[in-house]
Amino acid sequence: MDTIKSFKGYGKVNPAEDREFRRKSRNRLIVIGVAAIVLVAIVIGIAIAAVRSKSTGDGDSSQTSSTSLSDSIKVVCSVTRYPTSCFSSISSANGISAVRNDPKQLFEISLRVAMDEISKVSSSIANFTIPLNDKRLVLAVRDCKELSADAIDRLNDSISSIRSASEGKSLTASSINDLRTWISAAITDQDTCLDGFEGTTESIKEKLEAAMANSTQFTSNSLAIATKVLGAFEKFTSRFHRKLLATTGNHRFPRALLQDLSRLKPNVTVAQDGTGQVKTINEAIAMIPKKSKDPFVIYVKEGVYRENVLIDKNRWNVIVVGDGMYKTIVDGKLNFVDGTPTFSTATFAVAGKRFMARDMGFKNSAGPEKHQAVALRSSSDCSVFYRCSFDAFQDTLYAHSYRQFYRECDITGTVDFIFGDSSVVFQNCKIRPRQALPNQQNIITAQGKKDPNENTGISIQGCSITPYDNVTAPTYLGRPWKDYSTTIIMQSEIGSVIHPAGWLSWVAGTLPPDTICYSEYQNTGPGSSVAERVKWPGYMPAITAEEAKKYTVELFLKGSDWIAETGVVFQSTLG
């Protein structure tokens, strides 16, 4: 994310502007209501078609079957953002002739065509002519290949889940949320791939955007079907005595074992003084078995470990425990100015699912002049960070994708220092903006939701926002990075360091899209007044308790179980 050079303040709107804002808000509610009614009709139509198709057996004529299937595809695709590409891609997909009028089967086809297109993108990148002396471009290509492979894996997980449902297990609310999380992450992966080419040869980025046009649309189509069709379809067809069985796919930490991490016997101890089995964290990482269902505990003794660490997607259930957030510190210096794409600047990066860190510090000491320099990047599903510190300047904490939870952590930075496109909740954390470079503003959050059907956003609950040092730069709660950016600050103590306008546009002097969702709820402190906040259609200075509950651990993360299993105390809903 680029350094900000200028700022135009926001004041109160005049009465005419206020009336226009309220009119737009009412219109949005009307549109949402009408859309909900239409969706119910669509889903019932699909269900009836599916049930009728099953009841007629195999004796239908090929023409009748073809017509019925074509109609079903049209109905399913009508809920997507790109119905034309949805219909054409599914209708022409291999194996479509064997599909019956079942939305789950059509959904699986949509996933397969998205995967095929992502594979094509990965292959096309290999044909790009890349100057070997262009470090940032070489690394951007490397990251894009990795992200494409991750996106394919996430769609594969979705196919496995839907096939399990086809074999007799029902798609529960939990399993549908899993699907939405995985496909949202696949969208984020592709978007991150493109973001990595910022500051590189423009012609390469244009070629890549063209190559990714189909894959991004097809993935979006799959997400829309999962979001708007599958859940409602399952509810309707359950009346026809469908068997209800919950699906489970994630291993759980043994709760009794994790009630007190201090009693855990480490699998490996890291100590710079030689009192452990190894002296570096990377040596310990190399000892982690792949895809283990049992916790692997790494104890890192006090010290500053100057290394860049990656826990890849094949290392599951890893727990890293230090001696304190300011005693055990991992410190790196990779940064954007010196030629590393933002994604790869992270001092500590984790992708394997169910990761946990406790009493650890993560730092990027590149300094403010180096711009984007990430301390920690998490692409780990169901990851938990407890009593950890994150210390850098621009882009400190990259909550990249999946579901994440942070409790009693300290987060310090300047520009967009909490950013990404995960579903993330911060509780009881200290968020501390620091003095930025001259002519810079501080922005705490930059959320990257690109598609309206993603279940992502940043939720900050019960935290404190106070300056790290003598901050004179204008400081804001956040700015919308993408068109559907979603952020809520609730039940938090907001210090006077926050500018009265509260929020900032991505591009100075312009209004953000109406599609963003920004709000505040029951905050306190001298910076919590909403009297002079921005007057955006997508910003709500006051919301109801029911609206706020949607962004709690219980409803937003569906995380009461996977967080509780770590032994970390948390607040499930509103206080």
Long-range (24+ apart) CB contacts under 8 A made by 290-295 are 290/314, 290/315, 291/315, 291/316, 292/316, 292/317, 293/251, 293/317, 294/251, 295/253, 295/254, 295/257, 295/258, 295/264, 295/319
* 416, 421, 469, 514: the active-site residue: 416
**How remote is the C-alpha of 134 from its chain's centroid?**
30
**395 catalytic residue (yes or no):** yes
Distance CA(5)–CA(565), nearest Å, equals 45
Distance CA(118)–CA(220), nearest Å, equals 12
Bridge partners of 413, per DSSP, are 433
Of 435, 359, 445, nearest to 395 by C-alpha is 445
- Contact between 331 and 399 under an 8 Å Cβ cutoff? The reply is no
Residue type, 70: S
Structure tokens that stand for 256 in this block: 């009794």
The residues, ordered by sequence, that sit 6+ positions from 193 with a Cβ below 8 Å of its Cβ are: 143, 144, 147, 148, 208, 212
- Contact between 519 and 486 under an 8 Å Cβ cutoff? The reply is no
- Contact between 499 and 471 under an 8 Å Cβ cutoff? The reply is no
Distance CA(387)–CA(409), nearest Å, equals 5
Phi, psi of 412 (to 5 degrees): -125, 140
| Class of residue 22 by CB neighbours under 10 A (exposed 0-12, middle 13-18, buried 19+) | exposed
The residues, ordered by sequence, that sit 6+ positions from 181 with a Cβ below 8 Å of its Cβ are: 381, 402, 403, 423, 455
Distance CA(65)–CA(43), nearest Å, equals 19
- Contact between 348 and 376 under an 8 Å Cβ cutoff? The reply is yes
Structure tokens that stand for 520 in this block: 């505040």
End-to-end CA distance of the chain: 35
**How remote is the C-alpha of 394 from its chain's centroid?**
19
- Contact between 380 and 354 under an 8 Å Cβ cutoff? The reply is yes
**416 catalytic residue (yes or no):** yes
Distance CA(72)–CA(62), nearest Å, equals 15
* 178, 381, 395, 421: the active-site residue: 395
- In three-state form (DSSP H/G/I as H, E/B as E, the rest C), the secondary structure along 418-483 is EEECCEEEEECCEEEECCCCCCCCEEEEEECCCCCCCCCEEEEECCEECCCCCCCCCEEEECCCCC
Residues serving a catalytic function are 395, 416
